Amino acid sequence: MSEDAPFDLDALAARLAAEDGPRLWRSLEELADRPELRRLMEAEFPDVFEASSVDRRTLLRLMSASLALGGLAACNGGDAGSHAPLLSQSRNMPGYTPGVPVTIATSLPLNGFGRGVLVKSQEGRPIKIEGNPLHPASLGATDVFAQAEILSLYDPDRSDTPLQDGSPRRWEELTRFIRPVRNELVVGEGRGLHILMAPTSSPTLHRLISYTRELFPHAQWHVFTPIDDDARRAAVLDGFGRDLDFVYDLTQADTIVTLGGDLFAEEPGHLRYAADYQKRRRMRDRELPRLFAIETRPSLVGARADERIVLRPRDVDAFVRGLAASLEAGVAPAPDVHPSVPRLAELLRRAGPRCLVVAGREMPSEVHALALAINTRLGAFGTTIRAIEPVRPIIDGAQTLHDLAKAIEADQVSHLLVLGGNPAYTAPADLDLPSLIRRVPHSLHLGQHRDETASVCRWHVPETHPLESWGDLRAFDGTVGLRQPATMPLKPALSAEEFLGLMAGQTVDGQGLVQATWREVWGEGFEARWARSLEDGVVDGSALPSIDIAWRSDWRPEPAAPVSSGGIDVVFAPDPSVWDGSYANNGWLQELPKPLTKQVWGNAALIAPETADIFGISSGDAIDLTVEGRVIRAPVWVMPGHAPAAVTLTLGYGRQQAGRIGNQIGFDAYAVRPSRRPWIATGEIKVAGQRIPLISTQHHHALQGRDIIRVVAPGQDTPQDSDDRPSLYPEWPYEEHAWGMAIDLDACIGCNACVIACQAENNIAVVGPEEVAKGREMHWLRVDRYHSGEPADPSTYFQPVPCMHCEKAPCEVVCPVNATVHSSEGLNDMVYNRCIGTRTCSNNCPYKVRRFNFLDYQGTDYTPSADAMNPQVTVRDRGVMEKCTYCVQRIGAARAGARVEDRRLRDGEVMTACQQACPTQAIVFGDVNDPDSAVSRLKKDRRSYALLGDLNTQPRTTYLARIEIPAEEG
Amino acid sequence: MAQLFTPAATTAFRVAIVLLGVGIVAAGATAYVWARADSTWKVGKPAPQPVPFRHDLHSGSLKIDCRYCHSTVERAADAGMPSAQTCMSCHSQVWVGASVLDPVRTSFTLGQPLEWTSVHRLPDYAYFHHAAHVTKGVACETCHGRVDQMPRTVKAQTLSMGWCLDCHRDPVPKLRPREAVFTMGYEAHGGDLPDDIREFYREASRRLTSCNTCHR
C-alpha cells in the first residue's frame, strides 16, 4: 500500500466539497480514495486476496493434500472430554448446586477507586464479570478493564514464588528474611524505612497504614500513580482551602463543557457519567442537553459531544480565561478571544446552575481552578456537582515520588517497600527510578508480576489478584464496596492488606483484617450488616455526604503566562486498552481495537492531518520525539480531529517485563515523560525516515453502502422502509418467541465494553498481531467508527455490529452443508459440527459479521487457561465459521429456568452479554413477537432503521438513528 | 499381435469388478449397521467404578427415590451425584465395616471428591438439561431404562442424536404425567397426558428440533 505518500489536504478538501451530502469515511486513506485501499476493501478475504498468486497445479496439489489429510484428521478420538470423571462431592454444600454458577458481589479497583461487579463463578472458577446494579459506579455496567480482569486472573505469567535477587525462594525463606528486618525496624522506630504505594480508597488499607505508622513513626510514606490528579488537587486546595473530590450529576445538567480529559472513559465515575448523560438525553420533557468538548486529542466524550472545539493544550488556558471573563457581568469579551467563547458563555449563562464545566486531569491547575470558579459562579454546586471528602484520603505527611528519589540520592533510605504497582516502569524517566531503587540496601516489591520493579528490588513477593483476596474499596462517590474472593487463590500470594497486616504485627488473614475495620465502624449489629454488605456488594448508606464549601472570595486567576510559540505540545494520556500499562499482558485488551484509531497490539503518536502534512508523513512513519532532552522513536497515527502542532502519546506500552503477551509491544511513552510536567510537555519532532507497521482494524469487515449511519434532528423521523417488500423466500412462522435487538446509536459512546463482554462470554479466541494484520480477528461484535466532515474536525460515529440474524439471511441459502440454519425463534444458528469451512456464507454476508478460524486459534500462546472458558459455549475448532449467536446459551438458560418454574419468559429476562455490559443501555434485546417488549417498542420508534435495509435481508438487529442538533440552531 | 489378456484374465477382472461392487456395498452396510449398533454406543456395557454400587438394591429393593441421591434433577442441568455425606447418612449405620465402601468413607473423611466413571456422558457440544426434561414429563426410565433392575449401571439407550431427535420430533407419545416421572415400569404411555401439554408440544416441535435447542 502506498501509505508512505503524504496526503494532499487541499485535494481532500476539494473532494469533500464536491460531495453533495454527508459522506462517511473510516480513514484518510479511504477519503483520499487510494486505489490500493479500495481494492483491499472490496476483497472479501483480504489476506487470501493478497496471497492469491497460486497457480492451478499448486492449487490442485494443495486441494488433494487437504482432502487426504482431512480424512486423517477425522481419525483422532472425537469424544474429547467424555472420559472426564463424574464427581461426587465429599460434603453437601448448602446453596451450591454442582454445575450451576455462583454469583459473587465484589469490587474491582481502577486507579484506587472501586467499581462494583458481580462475578460469575463456575465450580469456584470465575468465568465472567458483570456490573453490579446496586453499585453507584456501575449501575450494572462494566468497562473493558473490569471485563478483562478474568483473563488477568488466569494470566500464566503471574508471579507465584518470592524472589531474592531474581532467584526463587521458598515462603519460609521470605519469613526468615522479613522477621529480623522487621524487628530491627521496630527498634529503630522505622528510621530509614520508606514505603511507596499508589493512592487508595480502601478504608482497611488506611486503617492498617495508621497502625503501621504507629509502629514505625519515623517511616516515610510516598504516594505515586502515573495517572495522577495532582493538578486538580492543587486547584482545589487553592480555591477551597482544603482537599476535596467532586461528584457530577449529569442528569441535572443542561450545558456541559469538558476541557480535555475524557469524562466517559477516564474519570473515576466514568460508567456512571456516561449512563447519567444518556439518561438526561432520554428525558422527553426537557430539551436535549448540550455537550461541548474542548480538547486536543479526540476522546469518547468529544465523539459524543454536540460540538468539539479543537485546541492545542497551550491555548486552552486562554480559552477558559476568556470564557470565565465573558461570564462576568458587564465585561466585554476580549477581542482576541476564541470565536466560540461568546456562544458558549451564553449557553452556560442560560443553563445557570444546570451547567457543568469539567477539566480533565491533564489540564494545568489554572484551568482546573477556572473551571471550578465558573461552576461556583453559576451556582452549579449543589445541582450538577457536589463536593465530598476525598475518596482516596491523603496519608498524613505522605510525600511524592520526587521526595523518594531525593531521599535515595541522599542515602537516607535503608529499607524500601513498594506495595503494588510498577513504579520502576511508570515513573517519569528523568527520575531514573530503576537505578535509584537498586541503590537501596533492602528493597521489597509486592506485585502480581515479576515486572520491571520486581527486577530492580532485592526481594519480590507475589501479590494476589483482586478477585482472590479480601479488601474494600470506595467508589467515586465514596460508596464502599467490599471485595471478597471469587476463587481460592490460584497461586500462593499476599494481598497488600495482608502484607501491611504482617508489618503492623496484626493477623495475615485478609478477611479478619477487613472485618476488623468494619467491626470498629459498625459496632453493634456487625454480623448482620457484614452479611448484607457482602451479598449486595455495597455498604448501604456509605456514600460520602456533600460538604458545604465556599470558593475563596479573594481568588483571582493568576495572570496568564505568555503562550510560548516554539515547539510542539506533547500530551500524555492513559491508554484505552492497557491503561497505565498494568493491563499490558492481557490478550483481550491488546487485541481490542482502540475506540478511535481502531489500532490493536500497540500504540502510536497521534498527530493531526495538518501536522502530518507539514512534516510530509503518514500513519506508520516513525518520528523521533524529543522532550526535555530525551528521545523516543514512535510511529505516528494521523488522527482526524487532533489539534495541530500537538502530539498525543498513550502510556502503558513498550513493556520489557510484562509477560509473554505484553513484552516489546509499542513504544514506552514514560521514557520521555518529564516529572515536572507529567501530562503536557513541549517537545520537538524529527522525521525518522523509517516505517513501523501499525495494525488497525478500521478497514476490516468494511461495509459498502449508503445510509450506514443515520442522523436525525431532535424530534425528526428517519425514512421508514416499507414493510411489504417482495421476496422469493417463504416467510418463517414464529409461534412463540422471535428474538431481536435494537441498538441506539444515540446512546453508543464507543467504549468497547460490549466487545470484551462478548469475547469473555463466548470464548472468543485471541489471534495475535500477525493474524489481525491479515484481517483475521475473531471478535463476534465489532464497533465500527466512522467520520464525516473535514479531517481537521470531523464528526465521529460509533456503530456496534453484531450478527444481524436476518429474516432472509443471505448466508443460509448458500451453505452447501446446511451448517447455518434458521431457528424456530429467528436466530441464525451456526452448526459448527457441520461446517466444512467453504466460507461461502461469509462471502455472501453483506454485514461482514462472520469470522473464520483459519488456524487453530484456541491452541496458541494467546489462548487463555481452559479455566477461563465459559462451559456453556462450545470452544470452536479450526476450519469452522463462527459468529454472534445472540448469546443463545443465555436464552437457553433463561428458558430452562422458566420451564422449571412453569411460566413464560419475561421481557428483559434474557440479556445478551453486550447488552448487560453497556453503560448507556444502547443495546436492547428481547422478543419481537411480544408487541409490548422493550425491543418491540424501540423497533417502532421513528428513529429505527435497518442497516443496508434496501437489500431486503430483513435484519433482526436494527438501529436507532443518532440525534444531532443541527449546527445552525446552535 | 497376441492378445494381451487371456479369457481367464477377463473373467478374473469381471469377478473383481463384481467383488469390488459387493465389497463397497458390504462396507457401506457394515458401517451403517455398526453406527447404529448398541455395542458401538456401549449400550449395556458397564464401566469400572470405584464402588460396586447397585441401583437394583437401592432403587429396586429399598425403593429409595431417585431424587434422594440425584437431588438437583428437578432444578439444574445436572441431575447431581450424591455426595459422600449423602451416602454416609445411611452407611454410617448399615454396612459400616464393609470394605467396598472404603472409597466413600475416605472421601467423606478426607474431603476429597469421589470419582465415578460416567456411562451416560454426552459429547461436549451437546447441552442437555435434566430439569427441563423431568419437569415436562420425560421420565428417568425413558432415557436411563430400568435402573431399578440394574446390578451395574449401564446405558439403556444409544443416546445418539438420532435417538434424541426421535423424541424431539414428536414427544407426546413418550411423555408421562408429572407424578409418574420417577416411576419405574410405568405402562400407560401417553394416554393420560393433560391436553395442554399435548397442545404445547405439537406447537413446539419446530423449536425442539432447532439446532440451538441442544447445541450452542
**Is A68's Cβ below 8 Å from some Cβ in B?**
no
- Mean pLDDT of all residues in A341-348: 92
- Mean pLDDT of all residues in A738-754: 96
What is the reported pLDDT for A3? 45
In chain B, which residues have their Cβ closer than 8 Å to the Cβ of A763?
none
A368-389: pLDDT as tens digits: 999 999 999 999 999 999 999 9
Query: What distance in Å separates the CA atoms of residue A674 and residue A670, rounded to the nearest whole number?
Result: 8
Answer yes or no: do B132 and A900 touch at CB < 8 A: yes
CA angle B95, B99, B105 (to 5 degrees): 75
- Write the secondary structure of B165-198 as one string of H (helix), E (strand) and C (coil): HHHHHCCHHHCCCHHHCCCCCCCCCCCCCCHHHH
Please tell me the distance in Å from A318's CA to the nearest CA on chain B. Answer: 58
Split at pLDDT 50, 70, 90, the class of A20 is low
In chain B, which residues have their Cβ closer than 8 Å to the Cβ of A891?
212
Split at pLDDT 50, 70, 90, the class of A476 is very high
A481-492: pLDDT as tens digits: 999 999 999 999
Please tell me the distance in Å from B187's CA to the nearest CA on chain A. Answer: 25
In chain A, which residues have their Cβ closer than 8 Å to the Cβ of B206?
733, 735, 824
In chain B, which residues have their Cβ closer than 8 Å to the Cβ of A892?
127, 129, 212-213, 216
A550-576: pLDDT as tens digits: 998 888 888 877 777 888 999 999 999
Please tell me the distance in Å from B109's CA to the nearest CA on chain A. Answer: 8
Query: Over 70: is that where the pLDDT of B188 sits?
Result: no
Query: What distance in Å separates the CA atoms of residue A685 and residue A631, rounded to the nearest whole number?
Result: 10
- Mean pLDDT of all residues in A414-435: 94
Q: Which of B212, B214, B215 to mutate: most A Cβ within 10 Å?
A: B212
- The average confidence (pLDDT) of chain A is 91
Q: Which of A89, A96, A872 to mutate: most B Cβ within 10 Å?
A: A89
What is the reported pLDDT for A80? 46
A771-798: pLDDT as tens digits: 999 999 999 999 999 999 999 999 999 9
Look at residues A908, A943, A903 and name the one whose alpha carbon lies nearest to residue A925.
A908
What is the reported pLDDT for B19? 97
Facing A90 at nearest CB: one of B113, B117, B203: B113
**Is A76's Cβ below 8 Å from some Cβ in B?**
no
Which A residues, 811 through 830, put their C-beta within 8 Å of a C-beta on chain B? 821, 823-825, 827, 829
Q: Which of A79, A83, A88, A891 to mutate: most B Cβ within 10 Å?
A: A88
Answer yes or no: do B110 and A90 touch at CB < 8 A: yes
Query: Over 60: is that where the pLDDT of A673 sits?
Result: yes
Q: If you count residue pairs, one on A and one on B, with CB atoms under 8 Å apart, how many are there?
A: 144
- Mean pLDDT of all residues in A526-535: 95
**Is A877's Cβ below 8 Å from some Cβ in B?**
no
Look at residues B58, B78, B53 and name the one whose alpha carbon lies nearest to residue B68.
B58
What is the reported pLDDT for A23? 79
CA angle A340, A679, A224 (to 5 degrees): 140
Query: Over 90: is that where the pLDDT of A9 sits?
Result: no
**Is B108's Cβ below 8 Å from some Cβ in A?**
yes
Facing B81 at nearest CB: one of A83, A87, A888: A87
A269-326: pLDDT as tens digits: 999 999 999 999 999 999 999 999 999 999 999 999 999 999 999 999 999 999 999 8
Query: Over 50: is that where the pLDDT of A1 sits?
Result: no
Alpha carbon separation from A405 to A165, A220, A428, A774 (Å, rounded): 21, 12, 11, 46
**What string of DSSP letters covers A282-328?**
H-TTSPPPEEEEEESS--HHHHHSSEEEE--HHHHHHHHHHHHHHHS
In chain A, which residues have their Cβ closer than 8 Å to the Cβ of B76?
97-100
- Write the secondary structure of A864-932 as one string of H (helix), E (strand) and C (coil): CCHHHCCCCCCCCCCCCEECCCCCHHHHHHHHHHHHHCCCCCCCCCCCCHHHHHCCCCCEEEEECCCCC
- Mean pLDDT of all residues in B50-68: 94
User: Mind listing the domains of chain A with CATH numbers?
Assistant: 102-152 (2.20.25), 163-228+397-536 (3.40.50.740), 245-388 (3.40.228.10), 568-696 (2.40.40.20), 699-708+737-965 (3.30.70.20)
A198-245: pLDDT as tens digits: 999 999 999 999 999 999 999 999 999 999 999 999 999 999 999 999
Answer yes or no: do A873 and B129 touch at CB < 8 A: no
Q: Which of B133, B160, B211 to mutate: most A Cβ within 10 Å?
A: B211
Please state the ipTM of this predicted complex: 0.89
**Is A896's Cβ below 8 Å from some Cβ in B?**
yes
In chain A, which residues have their Cβ closer than 8 Å to the Cβ of B207?
735-736, 823-825
Query: Over 70: is that where the pLDDT of A855 sits?
Result: yes
- Mean pLDDT of all residues in A441-466: 96
